[in-house]
Amino acid sequence: MRLVITGGAGFIGSNFILYMMEKYPTYKIINIDTLTYAGNLENLKEVENHSNYKFIKADINDVNAMNSVFQEGIDAVINFAAESHVDRSILQPEVFVRTNVLGTQVLLEASKKYNVSKYVQVSTDEVYGSLGKTGYFREETPIAPNSPYSASKAGGDLLVRAYYETYNMPVNITRCSNNYGPYQFPEKLIPLMLTNALDDRSLPVYGDGLNVRDWLYVEDHCSAIDLVLHEGKIGEVYNIGGNNEKTNIEIVNTLINELGKSSSLIKYVQDRLGHDRRYAIDATKITRDLGWKPKHNFNTGIKDTIEWYLKNKEWWERIQSGKYQNYYENRYGAL
Ligand code: NAD
Ligand code: DAU
């Protein structure tokens, strides 16, 4: 099996590559990543010399670069490549449209041209918008994105759907809730609060801190995508979630308590524009049809995550100082 994994130097993509290389030692993995600020090849140090792994630095918007990879013969594509941070999308929406919408179309076109057997679009529960106090996102829930990020992800999803309906392409879309775990870039809630608390810096909680997210350990997201890749019914959407709703302030308090830090570090700050109040996923379909079950519960998952950040201080300090961005040149030479 020859797999193209786009965005493989990011948080979930790198966890997925490590997961797949261990589980399927004979698969050939081609990681296409343009290395934005969020791409970090240090995440993949342990596989970088493996004969079944290849890294290609390229933008998914680059039609020629994609064609030259795909013409070698690719069995499946898993598209993780994206601009992924909501706050950045509020400041700079254009780049989100470019990668998350237009880049998806380039990948779909290359997949069609070279007869890829499965295309998996890694999407998000945010495309469904926001919930009130009750209810869950199901696969049939209408798409109603609220941020430029979620709107751009929804745009990508609609193109995937259109390629299925129009060209009968073998696609799946996955929509997962908030992930946490090793290698998450410290701009997202959990790693930001963790690294700030470890440095005794303030912990910026948006609004009243009562927005709710459903948290899933990243390895459980990887196992779900693995199942969808191999067994997902063509044309279907699968929701993935942890059944684990927490308010943001609960998360911050958990981290403070686990680290033995003072709650005086918490600072309530101005709310995010258009801040979605609550996300919650109904993952019945993937559980019933593909037999997926998460392995980690939040209590152990968060402890493992804290331990990982404590053990890998150098990893996040190199991000804070910007030094991680030299890794590509040191490893692969200047372009
Ligand atoms: P991330 O920001 O950590 O990583 C994104 C990766 O994509 C980076 O390595 C970046 O360099 C690469 N990339 C960006 N633009 C590119 C381009 N034009 N061409 C090639 N590579 C490009 O993101 P993540 O948190 O790992 O999320 C991965 C995917 O999963 C995204 O599609 C995101 O929408 C989706 N998702 C994330 C979560 C979450 O909680 N983090 C939950 C559900 C779905
Ligand atoms: O739901 C899936 C989505 O989860 C993914 O599609 C996105 O790629 C991923 O970034 C994540 O989006 P969120 O906006 O939910 O994640 P973030 O970590 O940015 O914020 C989580 C919550 O914490 C949100 O309610 C905003 C709040 N927050 C975040 C930051 C960074 C704070 O209160 N303070 C902060 O400093």
**So what's the ipTM on this one?**
0.99
Q: What's the CATH fold of domain 2-180+216-244+274-298?
A: Rossmann fold (3.40.50)
Average pLDDT, the chain: 97
Q: pLDDT confidence of 328, banded at 50, 70, 90?
A: confident
Encode pLDDT of 199-238 as tens digits. 999 999 999 999 999 999 999 999 999 999 999 999 999 9
The ligand 2 site (C-beta within 6 Å) comprises: 84-86, 124-126, 177-178, 188-189, 192, 204-206, 211, 213, 248, 272, 279
Prediction pTM value: 0.98
Q: pLDDT confidence of 313, banded at 50, 70, 90?
A: very high
pLDDT > 90: percent of the chain: 96
Which amino acid does the sequence have at 317? E
- Can you give the pLDDT at residue 104? 99
User: What are the domain boundaries of the chain?
Assistant: 2-180+216-244+274-298
- Can you give the pLDDT at residue 334? 63
Q: Which atom of ligand 1 sits closest to the CA of residue 85?
A: 2
Q: Which residue's alpha carbon is nearest to atom 4 within ligand 2?
A: 178
Encode pLDDT of 239-275 as tens digits. 999 999 999 999 999 999 999 999 999 999 999 999 9
